[in-house]
Amino acid sequence: MKAVGSRLLQLIVLLGTISTTLFLLLRLSGDPAILLAGEGASPETIDAIRADYGFDKSLLQQYLMFIWDIARLDFGRSLVNSQPALGFVLQYLPSTLHLTFLAVFFNSIIAIPAGVWLGAKPTQRRRKVLSTIVSVAQGTPAYVIGLLLIQIFSVWLGWLPSIAGTGTWAWVLPTATLSFALAPNLIRVVAASVEDTTRQDYYRTAKANGAAPNVLLIKHSLPNALLSTTSLLGAQFAFLLSGALITEYIFAWPGLGLILVQSITNLDFPTIQATVFVVAYLVFIVNLIMDQVFRLADPRLRRSQL
């Protein structure tokens, strides 16, 4: 369980850094009570907040209080609807996870076969296909893709809804947007891993024993290539959460990304902090799961049997 410990330490360091930074920035950029109260708040509200948050105390005292609250996962109440911030944010978690899993699923069933196709026989033409896909996708931000998809499929063709919750097919365009952003990288990595296996000694051994091309691919390349791709999936997840920010905003998908954008627009600090913490925790959990999957899938990392 050393891996869990080290990931946990990472999480704590990350959260500590983020909250300390926020704490300092908030104090450095003027009167935090005014910021927290939001625009147009009455002087009474501001005073109340000042007392409530202890802004009249010393900086160190404030910091310790702040950390203590956070350590108990008490982020305060949302300034918009007075719900406890964490609970409020967590309501939106399932929706983000839903979108994320859809994206991972469709991305995998499209990008992995494509990557295998490119990597299994890296001819000049296939390389060209690959580099074209990658450079087009790298040069196109997710929101441009989202807007184009809406323009084409919702506005012009009228086939698909562009707003979340407006029909059975509302998930299609957000999923497609995220997949577009994610797929090229996955294709590239899968292709590179598959191609790499064909240069390995065990691949040559299998060939020396008469394995046919499809056997070589399925029984010798793929298990090894997919194994090395697994380590990428954790990073992809972090990327998806970034992408969710924009995708959820465009499609009004009620998830963490949308909540974050809204609470930033409203300067709702407790909610912002709670969201960032939830995202960090998600990344932590996913990395932890990926570590374990990797461990189980690779016999070299399992405890030796003899």
Interacting positions 155-194 with another protein (CB under 8 A): 155
Count the helix, strand and coil residues of the chain and give each as a percent rounded to the nearest 5.
75, 0, 25
Q: In whole angstroms, what is the distance from residue 154 CA to residue 252 CA?
A: 14
Task: Indicate which single residue of 4, 64, 65, 144 sits in contact with another protein (rule: CB under 8 A).
Answer: 144
Contact (CB, 8 A) for 173 and 146: yes
> What phi and psi, each to the nearest 5 degrees, are found at residue 123?
-75, 170
Stretch that binds another protein, among 38-46, 73-81, 93-101, 268-276 (CB under 8 A): 268-276
Is 90 a binding residue for another protein by CB under 8 A? The answer is no
Q: Which helix (H) or strand (E) holds 40?
A: none
Residue with tokens 């900086």: 59
Residue 165 C-beta: closest distance to another protein, Å:
18
Strands in 14-68 per DSSP E? none
What the block records as the tokens of 66 is 């702040």
Long-range contacts at 272-275 (CB < 8 A, ≥ 24 apart): 273/19, 273/22, 273/70, 273/75, 273/85, 274/75, 274/85, 274/86, 274/88, 274/89, 275/89
Stretch that binds another protein, among 53-61, 66-74, 92-100, 260-268 (CB under 8 A): 260-268
Is 44 a binding residue for another protein by CB under 8 A? The answer is no
Q: In whole angstroms, what is the distance from residue 251 CA to residue 266 CA?
A: 19
Is 219 a binding residue for another protein by CB under 8 A? The answer is yes
Is 280 a binding residue for another protein by CB under 8 A? The answer is yes
Is 142 a binding residue for another protein by CB under 8 A? The answer is yes
Residues 6+ apart with CB under 8 A from 156: none
Is 265 a binding residue for another protein by CB under 8 A? The answer is yes
Is 26 a binding residue for another protein by CB under 8 A? The answer is yes
Stretch that binds another protein, among 17-25, 77-85, 170-178, 185-193 (CB under 8 A): 17-25
Is 267 a binding residue for another protein by CB under 8 A? The answer is yes
Is 34 a binding residue for another protein by CB under 8 A? The answer is no
Stretch that binds another protein, among 40-48, 71-79, 164-172, 211-219 (CB under 8 A): 211-219
Is 65 a binding residue for another protein by CB under 8 A? The answer is no
Nearer to another protein, 44 or 303 (CB): 303
Task: Indicate which single residue of 82, 132, 205, 292 sits in contact with another protein (rule: CB under 8 A).
Answer: 205
Nearer to another protein, 44 or 254 (CB): 254
CA distance between the termini of the chain:
21
Task: Indicate which single residue of 119, 234, 254, 255 sits in contact with another protein (rule: CB under 8 A).
Answer: 234
DSSP tag of 255: S
